[in-house]
Amino acid sequence: MEFKPLSGRLSPRFAAVKTFFRLPHVPIEENYDVGIFGIPSDLGVSYRPGARFAPTQVREFSSLGRGFHWSRGVNIFEKLKAADIGDCPVTPLSIDQTMKQIEDYVSQLLKLKKKFLAVGGDHSNTLPILRALKKHYGQPLAFIHFDAHLDTYPAAWGCEYHHGAFARHAVEEGLVDPTQMLQIGLRGPLAAPEDLDFAKKHKITAITVDDVRAGHLNDFVKKLPVFKSTPTYISYDIDCLDPAYAPGTGTPVPGGLTTYETQKILQNLKIPNLVGADLVEICPAYDPSNITALAGVDFMFEALSLMALN
Amino acid sequence: MEFKPLSGRLSPRFAAVKTFFRLPHVPIEENYDVGIFGIPSDLGVSYRPGARFAPTQVREFSSLGRGFHWSRGVNIFEKLKAADIGDCPVTPLSIDQTMKQIEDYVSQLLKLKKKFLAVGGDHSNTLPILRALKKHYGQPLAFIHFDAHLDTYPAAWGCEYHHGAFARHAVEEGLVDPTQMLQIGLRGPLAAPEDLDFAKKHKITAITVDDVRAGHLNDFVKKLPVFKSTPTYISYDIDCLDPAYAPGTGTPVPGGLTTYETQKILQNLKIPNLVGADLVEICPAYDPSNITALAGVDFMFEALSLMALN
Amino acid sequence: MEFKPLSGRLSPRFAAVKTFFRLPHVPIEENYDVGIFGIPSDLGVSYRPGARFAPTQVREFSSLGRGFHWSRGVNIFEKLKAADIGDCPVTPLSIDQTMKQIEDYVSQLLKLKKKFLAVGGDHSNTLPILRALKKHYGQPLAFIHFDAHLDTYPAAWGCEYHHGAFARHAVEEGLVDPTQMLQIGLRGPLAAPEDLDFAKKHKITAITVDDVRAGHLNDFVKKLPVFKSTPTYISYDIDCLDPAYAPGTGTPVPGGLTTYETQKILQNLKIPNLVGADLVEICPAYDPSNITALAGVDFMFEALSLMALN
Amino acid sequence: MEFKPLSGRLSPRFAAVKTFFRLPHVPIEENYDVGIFGIPSDLGVSYRPGARFAPTQVREFSSLGRGFHWSRGVNIFEKLKAADIGDCPVTPLSIDQTMKQIEDYVSQLLKLKKKFLAVGGDHSNTLPILRALKKHYGQPLAFIHFDAHLDTYPAAWGCEYHHGAFARHAVEEGLVDPTQMLQIGLRGPLAAPEDLDFAKKHKITAITVDDVRAGHLNDFVKKLPVFKSTPTYISYDIDCLDPAYAPGTGTPVPGGLTTYETQKILQNLKIPNLVGADLVEICPAYDPSNITALAGVDFMFEALSLMALN
Amino acid sequence: MEFKPLSGRLSPRFAAVKTFFRLPHVPIEENYDVGIFGIPSDLGVSYRPGARFAPTQVREFSSLGRGFHWSRGVNIFEKLKAADIGDCPVTPLSIDQTMKQIEDYVSQLLKLKKKFLAVGGDHSNTLPILRALKKHYGQPLAFIHFDAHLDTYPAAWGCEYHHGAFARHAVEEGLVDPTQMLQIGLRGPLAAPEDLDFAKKHKITAITVDDVRAGHLNDFVKKLPVFKSTPTYISYDIDCLDPAYAPGTGTPVPGGLTTYETQKILQNLKIPNLVGADLVEICPAYDPSNITALAGVDFMFEALSLMALN
Amino acid sequence: MEFKPLSGRLSPRFAAVKTFFRLPHVPIEENYDVGIFGIPSDLGVSYRPGARFAPTQVREFSSLGRGFHWSRGVNIFEKLKAADIGDCPVTPLSIDQTMKQIEDYVSQLLKLKKKFLAVGGDHSNTLPILRALKKHYGQPLAFIHFDAHLDTYPAAWGCEYHHGAFARHAVEEGLVDPTQMLQIGLRGPLAAPEDLDFAKKHKITAITVDDVRAGHLNDFVKKLPVFKSTPTYISYDIDCLDPAYAPGTGTPVPGGLTTYETQKILQNLKIPNLVGADLVEICPAYDPSNITALAGVDFMFEALSLMALN
Residue C216 above 80 pLDDT?
yes
Under an 8 A CB cutoff, do A46 and E13 touch? yes
CA distance B86 to chain E (A): 6
Cβ-Cβ pairs closer than 8 A, C with E, add up to: 63
**How do residues A67-81 score in pLDDT, each as one tens digit?**
999 989 999 999 999
Cβ contacts of B303 within 8 Å, gap of 6 or more: B117, B234, B236, B266, B274, B277, B279
Contact D47 C263 (CB under 8 A): no
Write the pLDDT tens digit of every residue in D192-209. Answer: 889 999 999 999 999 999
CA of F245, closest CA in chain A: separation in Å? 8
| CB < 8 Å to C52, chain E | 49
What is the chain B residue with the closest CA to A51? B49
Mean pLDDT of C115-122: 98
- Is the CB of D97 less than 8 angstroms away from the CB of F158? yes
Q: Residues of C with CB below 8 A from B290's CB?
A: 247, 286
Residue to substitute from C11, C19, C43, C56, interface F, most F β-carbons within 10 A:
C56
Per-position b or e across E233-246, b if 16+ CB within 10 A of its CB: bbbbbbbbbbbbbb
pLDDT averaged over chain F? 96
A290: left (phi over 0), alpha (psi -120 to 50) or beta: left
Distance CA F265, CA F256 (A): 14
Give the mean model confidence (pLDDT) for residues D262-285.
Answer: 97
F5 contacts in chain E (CB < 8 Å): none
Give which of F263, F238, F264, F266 is closest to F253, Cα–Cα. Answer: F238
For residue F192, pLDDT beyond 90: no
Contact yes or no for E294 and A46 at CB 8 A? no
Q: For the residues of D133-164, what is the DSSP string, one character each?
A: HHHHHSSPEEEEEE-SS------BTTBS-STT
Closest CA in chain F for residue E217:
F216
Sort strands C34-38 and C115-119 into parallel, antiparallel or unpaired: parallel
Quick check: C90 contacting F, CB < 8 Å?
A: yes
Distance CA D167, CA B198 (A): 47
Facing F189 at nearest CB: one of A67, A218, A242: A67
pLDDT at res. B228: 87
pLDDT value at residue F191: 87
pLDDT at res. E191:
87
- If contacts are CB pairs under 8 Å, which of residues 276-305 in chain C contact chain E? 285-286, 288
User: Among all residues of chain E, which has the CA nearest to that of C157?
Assistant: E91
Beta bridge partners of B69: B74
Distance from CA of C48 to the nearest CA of B (A): 8
- Confidence at residue D179, expressed as pLDDT on a 0 to 100 scale: 96
Size of interface A-E (CB pairs under 8 A): 89
Q: Does the structure show a pLDDT above 90 at D182?
A: yes
pLDDT of E1 over the 80 cut: no
Chain F partners within 8 Å of C19 (Cβ): 17
- Residue of chain A whose Cα is closest to the Cα of D50: A14
pLDDT of residue F182: 97
Position C14 scores a pLDDT of 97
Q: Which chain E residues contact residue A157 at CB under 8 A?
A: 9, 12
> Does A163 lie at the interface with B, CB-CB under 8 angstroms?
no
Tell me the average pLDDT across E197-211.
Answer: 97
Q: For position E145, what pLDDT does the model report?
A: 98
The CA distance from E49 to the nearest CA of chain B, in Å, is: 13
Q: Is the pLDDT of residue A228 over 90?
A: no
Ramachandran area for residue F53 (φ above 0: left; ψ -120 to 50: alpha; else beta) = alpha
Q: Read off the pLDDT of residues C43-77 as tens digits, 9 standing for 90 and up.
A: 999 999 999 999 999 999 999 999 999 989 999 99
| Cβ neighbours of E64 in A, within 8 Å | 47, 251-252
| Cross-strand pairs, E274 | E232
Asked if the C-beta of B243 comes within 8 angstroms of chain A's C-beta atoms, the answer is no
Q: Write the residue in A16, A40, A92 that is nearest to D87 by C-beta.
A: A16
d(CA A142, CA A274): 9
Residues 8-27 of D with CB under 8 A from A: 11-12, 14-19, 25
Q: Å from D197 to nearest chain C CA?
A: 13
Inter-chain residue contact A17 with D11, CB threshold 8 Å: no
Q: Does the beta-carbon distance from D93 to F161 stay under 8 Å?
A: yes
Asked if A244's CB is within 8 angstroms of F191's CB, the reply is no
User: For A74-91, what is the mean pLDDT?
Assistant: 97
CB atoms within 10 A of CB D11: 18
Handedness of CA E107, E112, E114, E117 (dihedral sign): negative
pLDDT at B159: 94
Rounded to a whole number of angstroms, the CA Rg of chain A reads 18
How far lies B93's CA from each of A41, A92, A286, in Å?
12, 12, 21
Q: Which of F73, F242, F258 sits opposite E193 (nearest CB)?
A: F73
Binned at pLDDT 50, 70 and 90, residue D306 comes out as very high
Of residues D46, D193, D256, nearest to C13 (C-beta): D46
Of A11, A87, A90, which is closest to D89 when you measure between CB atoms? A11
Mean pLDDT of E130-142: 98
E247 pLDDT band, cuts 50/70/90, is very high
User: CA of D215: which chain C residue's CA is closest?
Assistant: C216
- Domain A20-309 CATH assignment equals 3.30.420.10: no
Q: Which of D41, D47, D93, D157 to mutate to test the interface with F (most CBs of F within 10 A)?
A: D93
CA distance A152 to chain B (A): 17
* pLDDT (tens digit per residue) in F264-277: 999 999 999 999 99
Chains touching C, CB cut-off 8 Å, 3+ pairs:
B, D, E, F
B94, A159: Cβ pair inside 8 Å?
A: yes
- In the predicted model, residues of chain B with pLDDT beneath 50 are none
Q: Do the beta carbons of residue E82 and residue E3 sit within 8 Å?
A: yes
Query: pLDDT tens, C150-199?
Result: 999 999 999 999 999 999 999 999 999 999 999 999 999 998 889 899 99
Using CB atoms within 10 Å of the CB of residue C1, give its burial: 0 to 12 exposed, 13 to 18 middle, 19+ buried. exposed
Residues in chain A, overall count: 310
pLDDT bin (cut points 50, 70, 90) of residue C209 is: very high
pLDDT band at E285 (very low <50, low <70, confident <90, very high): very high
Long-range contacts of E213-222 (CB under 8 A, 24+ apart): E213/F217, E213/F260, E214/F218, E215/F216, E216/A215, E216/A216, E216/F216, E217/A213, E217/E261, E217/E264, E218/A214, E218/E264, E221/E264, E221/E265, E221/E267, E221/E268, E222/E268
Q: Which of A162, A242, A251 is the mutation pick for testing E, counting most E CBs within 10 A?
A: A242
* Residue A47 contacts F where some CB pair is shorter than 8 Å: no
Percentage of chain A exceeding pLDDT 70: 100
